[in-house]
Amino acid sequence: MSSRELTNTEAMAEALKEEMERDPSVFIIGEDLTAHGGIFGQFIGLPEAFPGRIIDTPISETAIVGAGLGAALTGMRPFVDLHFADFVTTAMDEIANQAAKIRYMFGGQTKIPMVIWAPDGAGLSAAAHHSQSLEAWFVHTPGLKVVSPCLPYDVKGLIKTAIRDDDPVVFFMHKKIFAKKGPVPDEEYLIPLGSADLKTEGSDVTVITYSIMVLHAMEAAQELAREGIRVEVLDLRTLWPLDWEAVARSVSKTHRVVVAHEACITGGVGAEVAARIQEELFDELDAPILRVGAPRVPHPFSPPLESFILPGPQNIMEAVHRIMETEI
């Protein structure tokens, strides 16, 4: 299959363009979409290509998400841009109480084909209101699906699938990966929700991760390879539904597991994955599962403060070293 190098921004715009061409019920709604093609340029070219289907809104997150929901209930397929993941709190009722529950509460009468897309993550000295990784809230909320990919191939394939999905999908992309490049096939393809991907194969330790930490884990894996430690990096891509088979396959191969995410460790997605591994695969483990993530503190502004709390390749390497030292 022939391919080109695209950034995540370009991969995302391409996915949206293809889906909007394919299905006239798809539209994009959110703040500041048309003037600059979105704050990360993720919608560049779309307002011109699809007049009236890229809808700028007032700063009214409650009404924006709710409008997406109301449209989804009446035959449309909205793609809602939340501007920053942190602002999700101002639309939490619409997401957690309404979109997540409406199908169930009403006995399966309807479907909610809606994507709620938000840039998340830290590392830009944006401080505590523009830096969070809040995926655990949504993984904890029945009725939602949660996606958080890292590389352009995954971003494009998963955006297309999320748009076609008949359930509400919360889709996070880390702010620092927008310019990240990677090969994207010329031909159309889809990636099913709930499918993980091995980014690096190894036999000693599995690092289970997603979003920007995939890059950090791949970097750590490269360093560790020089020491002879073969790390397997499993990119979950979708956080719910979880690709449990892929997790189990890798754990049964390496028997040592590190879970890593940028969000704070406490109550995080990593805790859920670790708990399930020890419940179902305890006999496969040669060492306790270690977690890498941020401490339970808001994101500080000043660069040395922020980098102090953010997990990176070094933290993953330390965890791998610790786990390799564990005596069986």
Partner 1 sequence: MAPAPSSEEPLSLYRTMWRIRAFETKVGELFASNRIPGFVHLSIGQEAIPTGVSSVLGPEDYITSTHRGHGHMLAKGADPRRMMAELFGKSTGYCKGKGGSMHIADFGLGVLGANGVVAGGFPIAVGAGLSCKLRGTRQVVVCYFGDGASNRGPFHEALNMASIWKLPVIFVCENNRFASTTPVGYSTSVGRIAVRAKGYGMPGKSIDGNQVLEVREAAREAVERAREGEGPSLIEARTYRFRGHFEGDPQRYRTKEEVEKAIKRDPILLFRRELMKRGLLDPERDREIQEAAQKEMEEAVRFAEESPLPAPEEALEDLYAGDVGQAAGKGGLR
Integer-rounded Cα Rg, in Å, for the chain is 20
| CA angle (235, 78, 130) in 5-degree steps | 55
Shortest spacing between CB 80 and partner 1, in angstroms: 10
How many other CB atoms sit within 10 Å of the CB of residue 124?
Answer: 13
Tell me the site size for partner 1, rule CB under 8 A: 56
Q: Name the segment binding partner 1 (CB under 8 A); options: 11-19, 121-129, 210-218, 241-249.
A: 241-249
Using the rule CB under 8 A, give the single segment among 92-100, 115-123, 178-186, 305-313 that binds partner 1: 92-100
Give least dist CB 4 to partner 1, A: 30
| Coil/strand/helix, residue 309 | helix
d(CA 260, CA 271): 10
Do residues 112 and 166 touch, judged by C-beta distance below 8 A?
yes
Asked if residue 55 lies in contact with residue 98, where contact means CB atoms within 8 angstroms, the answer is no
102 binds partner 1 per the rule CB under 8 A: yes
Nearer to partner 1, 34 or 195 (CB): 195
Cβ neighbour number for residue 127 with a 10 Å cutoff:
16
DSSP letter string over 261-285? EEEESTT-HHHHHHHHHHHH-GGG-
Note whether 81 binds partner 1 by CB under 8 A.
Answer: no
Judged by CB under 8 A, which of 2, 35, 51, 107 binds partner 1? 107
Beta strands in the chain (DSSP E): 3-7, 26-30, 54-56, 77-81, 115-120, 145-147, 169-174, 181-185, 197-200, 205-209, 231-235, 238-240, 257-264, 290-294
Considering only residues 12 through 41, tell me which ones interact with partner 1, judged by CB under 8 A.
27, 29
Position of tokens 């509460």? 105
**What is the β-pairing status of strands 145-147 and 169-174?**
parallel
| 210 binds partner 1 per the rule CB under 8 A | no
137 counts as binding partner 1 under rule CB under 8 A: no
Of 7, 8, 9, 98, the one binding partner 1 by CB under 8 A: 98
**CA 283 – CA 278 distance, rounded (Å):** 8
Active site residue ranges: 130
Closest approach of Cβ 208 to partner 1, in Å? 15
Assess 295 for contact with partner 1 (CB under 8 A): no
Q: Does 312 bind partner 1 (CB under 8 A)?
A: no
Among 21, 49, 62, 129, binds partner 1 (CB under 8 A): 62
CA separation for the pair 151, 235 (Å, rounded): 10
CB of 102 to partner 1, least distance (A): 6
Considering the rule CB under 8 A, would residue 143 count as an interface residue with partner 1?
A: yes
Q: Which of 3, 245, 252, 278 binds partner 1 (CB under 8 A)?
A: 245
Alpha-carbon gap, residue 153 to 3, rounded angstroms? 10
- The string of DSSP letters for 179-207 reads T-EEEEESS-----TT--EEEE--SSEEE
Pick the piece of the chain touching partner 1 (CB under 8 A) from 30-38, 111-119, 128-136, 221-229.
111-119
- Asked if 89 touches partner 1 (CB under 8 A), the answer is no
Closest approach, Cβ 287 to partner 1, in A, equals 25
Contact with partner 1 (CB under 8 A): which of 13, 150, 220, 242? 242
Q: Least separation, in Å, of the C-beta of 293 and partner 1?
A: 21
Applying CB under 8 A, which residues contact partner 1?
A: 27, 29, 52-53, 55, 57-58, 60, 62-63, 65-76, 78, 93-94, 97-98, 102-113, 142-143, 145, 165-167, 192-195, 240-245, 276
